[in-house]
Chain A
Amino acid sequence: MARKRKIGNAVCYAILIIMSIIWLFPFVALVLQSFRGESGGMVNYLVPKQWSLANYQFLFSDSCKYVRWYTNTLIIALAVTVLQTMVIICVSYALSRMRFSGRKALMNIWLVLGMFPGFLTMICLYFLLKQMGLTEDGAVPGLILISVASSGMGYYVCKGYFDSMPRSLDEAAILDGATRAQILTKMIIPLSKPIIIYTALVAFMAPWCDYIFASYVAFGHENGYNVAVSMTRWVWTNDYQGYFTRFCAGGILVAIPVTILFMCLQKYYVEGVTGGATKG
């Protein structure tokens, strides 16, 4: 019996180790490529023949607007994090703790709206932003506006969390003379730290991957790019061999802070997605 278990565990470890290699391989390769001194696209070896920091130096040189793109993305991510979290808390509180006429109807309408594919409305949104002067070089505030404006519809996980807090808390507070606004700011928010961190984390991660809409809104104007748009253009350009190692370096610089942040807050992320998965 003990021997059987030992063999079983050995097989399990073997599977896990193989999986880990598969899962980590692209990242290791990415890091190695970013330090490669030789030019060219993908090459048929992994470890650079000549180690160099040239790719990173290029990112920060004057011939490349990487710093600008990075700052753009960071600004969008931070602004969206703060505003979207606030919007979602407000909406979740209203829908979870208050009963008003039209509440069910509102939730159903939002549910139906969510079934339309996001890019359907792209040309219309572009036009609206253009009217406000928030496209091309001014794409950053435009992207913030678009992300935040519709974020109220993503209330499900947060509302689910609020729903699980006993209603009697509210009732007791109202008896003590607290207003609804005080209940939200003094009671619900302090009790909801995990879900607020989860909401903020998700809001922060999304802008780093936003390629589709960001590239459309910036419309070829370099000053309005975010990192996803500019890096993707590097890979898809005809001269991709010349930019490939630079893309690797640029990608690494984006991935490191986002990954570290995610790993630190992983606990809250798991809590959020698990809650969201079971309550729908």
Chain B
Amino acid sequence: MEEKIVRRGPVGRFFHWLGKDLKEIGATFAEGDLKTKLSFLIMGYGQLLRGQVVRGLTMFLLQVASLYFIFGFGWQYFSKLPTLGTVETAKINRVTVYGDNSFLILLYGLLTVVVIALLIFLWRVNVRQNREAEKRLARGKRLASNAEDLRSLLDKNFDKTLLALPVLGIFVFTVLPIIFMICIAFTNYDVNHQSPARLFTWVGLENFKAIFGLGGQEGFGNTFFYVLGWTLVWAFFATFLTYFLGMAVAILINKKGIKLKKLWRTVLVMTIAVPQFVSLLYVGKMFAVDGLVNAYLLKWGWIQTAIPFWTNATYARILIIVINLWIGIPYTMLIVTGLLMNIPAELYESARIDGANPLQTFWYITLPYMLFVTGPFLLTQFIGNLNNFNVIFLLNQGNPKSMSLTNNAGATDLLVTWLYKMTINDSNYKIAAVIGIMVFLVTAIISLVVYNTMPSVKDEEGFQ
């Protein structure tokens, strides 16, 4: 039989799949016996009567539990999702009468949506199980026994056993909160609309307009682009300076004739080993106006007044990048040292015979090899630096602040530290959520572009 080849886009493919799936569900119902037909309503019925007690009971209990959740608990929140609540909490005769709680409505409403989706998925699995069981029986084959079903959880279906808890954990503590916060970006949840006392509601794209300086609200636009600009500049210098200097240090220690290689490495690695809140807080204080560095410079008479390392925006920015070298060079050095050994010695040998000087061997052999091998590392470093909370926050909390910036933003604030301040100090959750989405977009765009141009992205299966 000749099959027609039709090219479809992702949307087309989805509808094609949906149509096929619906057809199969219809066929299951039309061709199925009474057990199967009843299973459409009572999940697990068919499995139970065919002797597959474990499957049947699981399906049935899941159905009961999710229906109970949806109608017994979730519905009251789900039904208010479009408005996020209308009844405000009020004080009547000195008694607080609680109205709607927008926070709970949004969170539990979303949870209900997910449970409904889950129920539909389970129902589909349930229908398929019935279909397959019927087919097997029609061919005169035996169904898997309960013991076999259970045992398969340690063998053929071991992945389900292994992944069940991690996936659940990630769902509750990562996926649900992220969806929730994305929704917050489209509401007016802030210090004036705090639940449970006040309601908040949907405002469409207002917050995004504010961030881009449209809508004329408090001059957010300037601040946002200022902070975004510094975030990118910081990530660039923090990544590439540490990378090249770290590589230089690794090559230096690796050089023939240098003794005590292990000692030098160990000294540098101290900064990775000591918890950052100890080392960074101390180093941060060292450069304060009354800190050790200024104190010594004054004592030696090199300067007359203390240098305002942390209160001058330019000094602070440069200093942060320099201190980050102190943290970052050892890390690159460790990785590069391991990789240097992998470069074939013949390459260096033939380069030496051809009369190449050390700089040339570095430029034409070491560097291309390193860039090729450490592509993924550079990408993760860059993205890690975009979100490098600890270095910025423990050193000087994103200061110095400036009159021209809104919402407590400072000259060394990254998008994430600004987000943090807005959440903690200002309860400006709506804008914090928008900034979170912006960080995501920046990360995603950079990853996509780099990933697609990187030569060392190999086929995953190729390693096995």
Binding site for B on A (CB under 8 A): 5, 9, 12-13, 15-16, 19-20, 22-24, 26-27, 29-30, 41-46, 87, 90-91, 93-94, 98, 100, 103, 106, 110, 112-113, 115-125, 127-128, 145-146, 148-153, 163-164, 166-167, 179-181, 184, 205, 208-209, 211-212, 216, 228, 231-232, 235, 244, 247-248, 251-252, 254-255, 258-259, 262-263, 266, 269-271, 273-274, 276-280
Query: Which residue of chain A lies nearest to B175 when distances are taken between CB atoms in the complex?
Result: A113
A106 to B330 CA separation, bound complex (whole angstroms): 34
Q: Confirm or deny: B436 has a beta carbon within 8 angstroms of a beta carbon on chain A.
A: yes
| Distance in Å: Cβ of B370 to nearest Cβ of chain A | 10
| Binary interface encoding of chain B residues 245-283 relative to chain A, with 1 for a CB under 8 A from any of its CBs, else 0 | 000010011010110000010111111111111110111
Besides A151-B166, A273-B335, 5 new A-B residue pairs in contact (Cβ under 8 A), listed by A number: A42-B286, A115-B444, A164-B464, A251-B282, A270-B337
Tell me which of A117, A122, A151 has the highest count of chain B C-beta atoms within 10 A of its own C-beta.
A117
A-B contact pairs, 22 of them (CB 8 A): A16-B253, A19-B249, A27-B270, A90-B163, A94-B159, A98-B159, A116-B439, A116-B440, A119-B416, A120-B181, A121-B180, A125-B177, A145-B173, A164-B463, A180-B155, A211-B390, A228-B275, A232-B277, A251-B275, A259-B273, A273-B335, A279-B376
Closest A residue to B375 using CB positions: A280
With A and B bound together, what is the CA distance between A232 and B389 in angstroms? 15
Nearest CB on A from B335, distance (A): 5
Report the bound CA distance from A255 to B291 in whole Å: 22
Bound-complex Cα distance A124 to B433 (A): 11
In the assembled complex, the CB of A74 is this many whole angstroms from the nearest CB of chain B, namely: 13
**Are B298 and A44 neighbours in the complex by a CB distance under 8 Å?**
yes
Complex Cα spacing A166 to B282, Å: 47
> Which residue on A lies nearest to B174, using beta carbons?
A150
Interface size class on chain B is: 35 or more
Q: Are B268 and A19 in contact (CB under 8 A)?
A: yes
User: Which among A94, A100, A119, A278 is the interface contact of B373 at CB below 8 angstroms?
Assistant: A278
- Tell yes or no: B460 within 8 A of A by CB: yes
Residue in chain B with minimal CB distance to A93:
B162
Q: How far is the CB of B420 from chain A (nearest CB, A)?
A: 5
Our pick among A93, A150, A254, A273 for the contact of B169 (Cβ within 8 Å) is A150
The contact of B281 among A15, A179, A232, A270, by CB within 8 Å, is A232
Contact of A123 among B159, B377, B429 (CB under 8 A): B429
B:279-322 near A, CB below 8 Å: 279, 281-283, 285-286, 288, 290-292, 295-296, 298-299
Nearest B residue to A240 by beta-carbon distance? Answer: B285
Q: How far is the CB of B161 from the nearest CB of chain A, in Å?
A: 8
When chains A and B are docked, how far (Å) is the Cα of A151 from the Cα of B163? 12
Query: Could you say which residues of chain B place their CB within 8 Å of the CB of A271?
Result: 338
Q: CB distance B463 to A122 under 8 Å? A: no
8 Å CB contact of B177 from A124, A145, A212, A276: A124
Are the C-beta atoms of B290 and A12 separated by less than 8 Å? no
Which B residues from 426 to 464 make CB contacts under 8 A with A? Answer: 429, 432-433, 436, 439-440, 443-444, 447, 456-457, 460, 463-464
The reply to whether B181 and A125 form a contact with Cβ atoms under 8 Å apart is no
B249: chain A residues at CB < 8 Å are 19
Contact B170 A231 (CB under 8 A): no
Q: A90-B162, A231-B277 are in contact. Are A44 and B440 (CB under 8 A)?
A: no
> Shortest Cβ distance from B437 into chain A, in angstroms?
8
* B162 and A255 within 8 A (CB): no
A112 partner residues in chain B, CB cutoff 8 A: 444
Are A115 and B394 touching (Cβ within 8 A)?
A: no
A163 to B462, CA, bound (A): 10
Q: Choose among A22, A90, A150 the residue that contacts B170 (Cβ–Cβ < 8 A).
A: A150
Instruction: Give the residue of A12, A205, A263, A279 whose beta carbon is less than 8 angstroms from that of B252.
Output: A12
Chain B nearest CB from A175 CB (Å) reads 14
Determine whether the beta carbon of A149 is less than 8 Å from that of B169: yes
Min C-beta distance of A199 to chain B, whole Å: 14
* Chain B min CB distance to A260 (Å): 8
Give the residue name and chain of the A residue nearest to B284 (CB).
A235
Cα–Cα, bound, A266→B266 (Å): 9
Give the dominant DSSP class at A's interface. Answer: helix
CA of A147 to CA of B107, assembled, Å? 21
- For A241, give the chain B residue with the smallest CB separation: B290
| Contacting pair A87 B334 (CB below 8 A) | no
Which among A100, A181, A208, A255 is the interface contact of B154 at CB below 8 angstroms? A181
Assembly CA distance A270 to B273 (angstroms): 12
Are A208 and B334 touching (Cβ within 8 A)? no
Contacts of A128 in B (CB 8 A): 172-173, 177
B220 CB contacts on chain A under 8 angstroms: none
Taking a contact as CB atoms under 8 Å apart, the answer to whether B277 and A209 are in contact is yes
Judge whether B281 and A16 touch: CB under 8 Å.
no
B199 at the interface (CB under 8 A from A): no
Known contacts: A9-B258, A20-B264, A209-B276. The answer to whether A117 contacts B416 by CB under 8 A is: yes
Q: Closest CB-CB distance, A189 to chain B, in whole Å?
A: 13
Contact status B389-A119, CB under 8 Å: yes
Cβ of B423 within 8 Å of any chain A Cβ, yes or no, is yes
Question: Are the CB atoms of B281 and A247 closer together than 8 Å?
Answer: yes
- By CB atoms of chain B within 10 A, which of A180, A208, A258 has the most? A180
Beyond A146-B173, A216-B424, whether A42 also contacts B295 by CB under 8 A is yes
Q: Which 5 A-B pairs have the closest CB atoms?
A: A280-B376, A152-B166, A44-B295, A120-B436, A121-B177
Tell me if A273 and B159 are in contact (CB < 8 A): no
Find the A residue at minimum CB distance from B279: A26
Report Cα–Cα, A42/B295, bound state, in Å.
Answer: 9
Those of B106-163 within 8 Å (CB) of chain A: 107, 151, 154-156, 158-163
Neighbouring B residues of A184 by C-beta, 8 Å = 158
B-side contacts of A118, CB under 8 Å: 387
Least Cβ distance of B308 to chain A in Å? 15
Contact A121 B268, CB 8 Å, known A115-B443, A127-B103:
no
B326 at the interface (CB under 8 A from A): yes
Q: Are A22 and B326 in contact (CB under 8 A)?
A: yes
Chain A nearest CB, measured from B353 CB (Å): 16
Chain A residues with CB below 8 A from B255, complex form: 9, 12
Q: Do A26 and B282 touch (CB < 8 A)?
A: yes
- Residues from chain B with a CB closer than 8 A to the CB of A121 are 174, 177-178, 180-181
Q: B339 at interface (Cβ–Cβ under 8 A)?
A: yes
Distance of B242 from chain A, by nearest CB (Å): 13
Find out whether the CB atom of B252 lies under 8 angstroms from the CB atom of A122: no
Q: Are the CB atoms of A42 and B264 closer together than 8 Å?
A: no
